[in-house]
Amino acid sequence: MKLMRKLAFLAVAILGLGTTGASADKLDKILSKGKIRCGVVLDFPPMGYRDAKNKPAGFDVEYCKDLAKALGVKLELKSMSFAQRLPALNAGKVDVVIGSTSDTLERAKSAGFTMPYFVFKLQVMTKKDSGIKTFEDLKGKKVTAALSTTPETEFLKNAKSMGWDSAKYFSSKSESDTHLALLQGKADAIVTTDTTIAELLKLPKYKDYVAGPFVPNYDDFVSIIAKRTEYGLINYMNLFIHQQVRTGRYKELNKMFYGNSPVRQLTVDGIYY
Amino acid sequence: MFDFDYTFHWITVWNVFPEMLSAALVTIEVAVTSMIIGLIIAVFLSLGKDSKNEFYRTPSVIWIEIARNTPALFQIYMAYFGLGAFGIHLSPYIAVLAALVFNNAGYLAETLRGGFAAIPNTQMSASRSLGMTQFQTYRHIILPQVLRIVYHPMTNQMIWAILMTSLGTLVGMLELTGKTDQLQSLSFRTFEFYLVAAVMYFIIAKMVLLGSKLLAHKLFKGDIS
């Protein structure tokens, strides 16, 4: 009897280990729960936005769906702002964020980045008669970009290296606030991604506006992010991104959201990621 | 279940700490300026609300009602984008300052009105019969008493003003919160930056309170505990 009890105890202990083992990583947890929580930013069309029925839509949303499908689990979308991406990951509110996160080396000290899944060009948008033809023409102009985004960082970096007085630069809280500032004439120019500008120019209220010069020497590669320590998950997502391109899904989504503009190359000359 | 696995990297914050300090100065500057201008306007608003003159009372009542019954966030947004729609472009700094003056004046007016109500009417009659003008009576008799009465509720508003400046980031003002937001986005060390900012807000509030206590001690000659 005593032996039986000991054996039973051992069996329970082993079973317990199997389910709550310390070695279960995020990927294990996602698979065993049957659900992945995916963070998206929905004020950044066409990567993330709400459609006419107020449902989340966009390139990033499609990628979340594809990722859940590949994993064979259910998807829970969580909408967030650019600034909330990292806190949400660290607080365990989401498992991954597909939110156009620029892959800087500084940020990679804090978050785990996959290989790039998309690439932007940073571009200036102005009024037609602004006289801003080159990036250098922005000197002394009222310029705005969304606070805490790569367009802001890159503009300020360039302004500093050219020795401009950036006193006339101001931050806006969100992408949509920069658009409002441009329309109201608070700003002569905004710095954002080429995709956003193309999207805005489709709207009638921007008929007097044009896409201006690009921010020099910068390709804004963006990655999916997860907690820095979740190698298993990041590894899986690297393969996922690779397969999205290989299976033609990447091209298909490019066409769906960017029409006939050329499919963006995710490679750089001279090196494979 | 509680599983905390996060390694703090404080060095990232210290590297740019001077930038946070200068942003904190902006916070103090806006809060204190908005409080001083707000207090001056509040004196006129509180007198206006009890005035018999329609043209003085109505605008005072409207100001107080809007300032107290709408979110400060809305007031800041209106000062920035609302006026912008009419072609009046205030810089984020001026827009936030104006909105906070508007807000502080509205709240302080009601605080002061309570203070004025606590002074018996007979004091006015007495000083007028001694030959003082109405202005002199307010200046030398009534206001000194009122300011003593409202000192504690006023320090509340002072702290509130400091904390409200953090809303300025919504129109892109780079005060302590906005700057912290900008700096954390470069390194994604969110927890570290916001924790340091929270501590800085705490210290600022305590420092400003201490300052106003010293000022009160000097002005009121020990009448305030």
- Residue B19 resides in a domain: no
- Residue B13 resides in a domain: no
Rounded CA-CA distance A189/A194 in Å is 14
Q: How far is A73 from chain B (nearest CA, A)?
A: 23
The pLDDT of residue A10 is above 70: no
Q: Which residues of A touch B13 (CB under 8 A)?
A: none
| CATH number for the segment(s) A25-118+222-258 | 3.40.190.10
- Residue B108 resides in a domain: yes
Give pLDDT tens digits for A89-110: 988 899 999 999 999 999 999 9
A147 and B172 within 8 Å at the Cβ level: the answer is yes
Q: Structure pTM? A: 0.82
- Residue B116 resides in a domain: yes
Q: Which residue segment(s) compose the domain that B140 sits in?
A: 24-220
Same fold, A25-118+222-258 and A120-219: yes
Complex prediction ipTM: 0.79
Q: What is the pLDDT of residue B1?
A: 46
Q: What is the pLDDT of residue A2?
A: 65
Tokens of B99: 């909105």
The closest alpha carbon to B173, from B100, B116, B91, belongs to B91
Tokens of A44: 């950044």
Integer distance in angstroms from the first to the last C-alpha of chain A? 61
Q: What is the pLDDT of residue B6?
A: 78
The pLDDT of residue A8 is above 70: no
Residue of A19, A148, A222 to mutate when probing chain B, most B C-beta within 10 A = A148
Which is higher by pLDDT, A252 or B219?
A252
Q: What is the pLDDT of residue A246?
A: 96
Report the number of distinct structural domains present in chain B: 1
The residue type at A231: Y
Classify residue A144 as exposed, middle or buried by CB count within 10 Å of its CB (0-12, 13-18, 19+). buried
Residue of B15, B83, B188 to mutate when probing chain A, most A C-beta within 10 A = B188
Q: What is the pLDDT of residue A45?
A: 87
A vs B: CB pairs below 8 A: 76
- Residue A181 sits at the chain B interface (C-beta within 8 Å): yes
Architecture of domain A120-219: 3-Layer(aba) Sandwich (3.40)
- Residue A111 sits at the chain B interface (C-beta within 8 Å): yes
Rounded CA-CA distance A147/A174 in Å is 7
Q: What are the domain boundaries of chain A?
A: 25-118+222-258, 120-219
Option in A86, A106, A185 nearest B89 (CB): A185
- Residue B18 resides in a domain: no
- Residue A109 sits at the chain B interface (C-beta within 8 Å): yes
Helix (H, G, I), strand (E, B) or coil at A126: strand
A111 and B84 within 8 Å at the Cβ level: the answer is no
Q: Are A234 and A89 in contact (CB under 8 A)?
A: no
- Average pLDDT of each block of 10 consecutive residues along chain B (225 residues)? 72 94 96 95 94 94 96 94 91 95 96 92 91 91 90 91 94 93 90 95 93 86 67
The pLDDT of residue A18 is above 60: no
Give pLDDT tens digits for A181-233: 999 999 999 999 999 999 899 999 999 999 999 999 899 999 999 999 999 99
Q: How many CB atoms lie within 10 A of CB A108?
A: 15
Give pLDDT tens digits for A34-93: 999 999 999 888 999 999 999 999 999 999 999 999 999 999 999 998 888 988 998 889
pLDDT category of residue A1 using cuts at 50, 70 and 90: low
* CATH number assigned to the domain comprising residue B163: 1.10.3720.10
CA A53, A56, A62, A65 torsion-angle sign: negative
The pLDDT of residue A273 is above 80: no
Q: What is the mean pLDDT of residues A116-136?
A: 94
Q: Are A133 and B210 in contact (CB under 8 A)?
A: no
Q: How many residues does chain B have?
A: 225
Option in B3, B5, B188 nearest A111 (CB): B188
The closest alpha carbon to B92, from B182, B172, B178, belongs to B172
The pLDDT of residue A242 is above 70: yes
Q: What is the pLDDT of residue A3?
A: 65
- Residue B207 resides in a domain: yes
Residue B124, CA atoms < 13 Å, CB-side half-sphere: 10
